[in-house]
Amino acid sequence: MSPMRRDLFESEHDMFRDSFRRFLDKEIVPRAEEFERDGIMDRAIFAKAGEAGFLGMEVPEEYGGGGVKDFRYNTVIIEECAETAIGGSGLGITLHNDICLPYFLHLGNEEQKQRWLPGICSGELITAVAMTEPGIGSDLASMTTTAIRDGDVYIVNGSKTFITNGINADLVITAVKTDPSQKHKGMSLMIIERSMEGFERGRNLEKIGLHSQDTAELFFTDVRVPVENLLGPDEGEGFRHLVTNLPQERLSIAVAGLASARAAYRWTLEYVKERQAFGQPIAGFQNTRFKLAELATEVAVAEAFVDKAILAHNQGQLTAEEAAMAKWWCSELQGRATDIGVQLHGGYGYMTEYPIARAYTDARVTRIYGGTTEIMKEIIGKSILN
């Protein structure tokens, strides 16, 4: 429920929303606690989502996708995951659709597309993207995982950490150094597959939120990766490919941040009307009205920017700076909104049976992953001052 009228969506998106919501209510919401406890979502959910048409919407039909390139469908999925407070499980799906898929779709050659896209769309192949290493995150070009060519294979050595879908993933888009003597120009991307010898998963990491998301360590020891698994025609282009795909990743995180802020506002609005103190509903206090007024305003203002960014992205016109603006602003808004929500729920806001509590802990990471707030400001600042 938006505080203001929105004109982003058409009737086909509303229908898609209804059907995705039914899917969530049937397949994920009733099992959300189980996935949170297990620290991972049942991988069978991906196949169910694929079967129902919620994966690979933009992939051409010949490869098993929906054949419609329109980020508003991705937006609907993100928003409904936020509304139903299934952040950790939802992230697995949106990472697969919004963040990993474009690498296969736009960089894959014909053979790679035929090999992988049908499984990605059906949900039989789950994807992850591995950039971060124990020693580096923001400073990506200093990464140390190497892929040294030896005939028709690359020999990969190194490790990655904090990898979303890390346990469930079958295909890992891995950032490697094919020329370790270089920084940006030495990087390449290649697909490392579940079955490859020497590829092992470490711990499913314990986090303060997003418990149902399997965030893991990955280890590569002399993994022999066929040269056919290199993404993009040439070695050394990995950094450029990452930069090309990051605006969509950041837009996805911005949409999720805004959706979470909107959900926090709605849950809080409902709660304060019910809860009584000093003989009146909490909603009767001026402080409550002011906080809700601030939230309604902030959500509506952010929505105007993000909805415009979504349409610009559909036209291929979203810039890296605009995506960075959306990402840092909406993830910070998400932090403020969930914090105010917890406060107005009082003690119940701290209990995980209330969605606001889970949304609060799930929210903290969005200011960090996908590029921190500080890195977003660097991108924007450099574009202004260059």
Q: How many residues line the site for ligand FAD (CB under 6 A)?
A: 23
Piece of the chain touching ligand FAD by CB under 6 A; list 243-251, 259-267, 313-321, 370-378? 370-378
- Calpha distance 209→260 (Å, rounded): 14
Q: How far is the CB of 182 from ligand FAD (least distance, A)?
A: 20
- Calpha distance 176→288 (Å, rounded): 51
Site for ligand FAD in 194-213 (CB under 6 A): 207, 210
- Rg, C-alpha atoms of the chain: 21
132 binds ligand FAD (CB under 6 A): yes
Q: Which of 138, 287, 297, 314 binds ligand FAD (CB under 6 A)?
A: 138
Burial (CB < 10 A; 0-12, 13-18, 19+), residue 6, is: exposed
- Calpha distance 256→274 (Å, rounded): 27
Q: How far is the CB of 166 from ligand FAD (least distance, A)?
A: 7
Name, in order, each residue with C-beta under 8 angstroms of 352's C-beta and a sequence gap of 6 or more: 358
Q: How far is the CB of 172 from ligand FAD (least distance, A)?
A: 9
Could you give the residue ranges of the DSSP H alpha helices within 39-171? Answer: 44-51, 71-83, 87-94, 101-107, 110-122
Piece of the chain touching ligand FAD by CB under 6 A; list 55-63, 157-165, 271-279, 323-331? 157-165
Q: Which of 116, 162, 220, 267 binds ligand FAD (CB under 6 A)?
A: 162
* Identity of residue 285: F
Nearer to ligand FAD, 57 or 140 (CB): 140
**Residue owning tokens 């609060």:** 360
Query: Is 249 among the catalytic positions?
Result: yes
Q: How far is the CB of 163 from ligand FAD (least distance, A)?
A: 5
45 binds ligand FAD (CB under 6 A): no
Planar angle of CA 171, 376, 298, nearest 5 degrees: 105
Question: In this structure, are residues 79 and 330 in contact, taking their beta carbons and an 8 Å threshold?
Answer: no
Nearer to ligand FAD, 213 or 268 (CB): 213
* Identity of residue 279: G
Site for ligand FAD in 71-130 (CB under 6 A): 128-130
Beta bridge partners of residue 104, listed in sequence order: none
Name, in order, each residue with C-beta under 8 angstroms of 370's C-beta and a sequence gap of 6 or more: 246, 249, 250, 253, 327
Nearer to ligand FAD, 137 or 349 (CB): 137
Q: Which of 74, 75, 164, 366 binds ligand FAD (CB under 6 A)?
A: 164
- Calpha distance 346→341 (Å, rounded): 9
Q: How far is the CB of 260 from ligand FAD (least distance, A)?
A: 15
16 binds ligand FAD (CB under 6 A): no
179 binds ligand FAD (CB under 6 A): no
- Calpha distance 71→62 (Å, rounded): 20
261 binds ligand FAD (CB under 6 A): no
Q: How far is the CB of 103 from ligand FAD (least distance, A)?
A: 12
372 binds ligand FAD (CB under 6 A): yes
12 binds ligand FAD (CB under 6 A): no
Q: How far is the CB of 256 from ligand FAD (least distance, A)?
A: 13
Identify the sign of the CA torsion 341, 345, 350, 356.
Answer: negative
Which residue has its beta carbon closest to ligand FAD? 137
215 binds ligand FAD (CB under 6 A): yes
Return the number of other C-beta atoms located less than 10 Å from residue 111's C-beta: 9
Buried b (16+ CB within 10 A) or exposed e, 221-231: eebebeeebbb
What are phi and psi for residue 77, nearest 5 degrees?
A: -60, -45
Of the residues 80, 249, 298, 332, which is catalytic? 249
Site for ligand FAD in 349-368 (CB under 6 A): 365, 368
Question: In this structure, are residues 200 and 219 in contact, taking their beta carbons and an 8 Å threshold?
Answer: yes
- Which residues are identified as catalytic? 249
Residues near ligand FAD (CB under 6 A) are: 128-132, 136-138, 162-164, 207, 210, 215, 365, 368-372, 374-375, 378
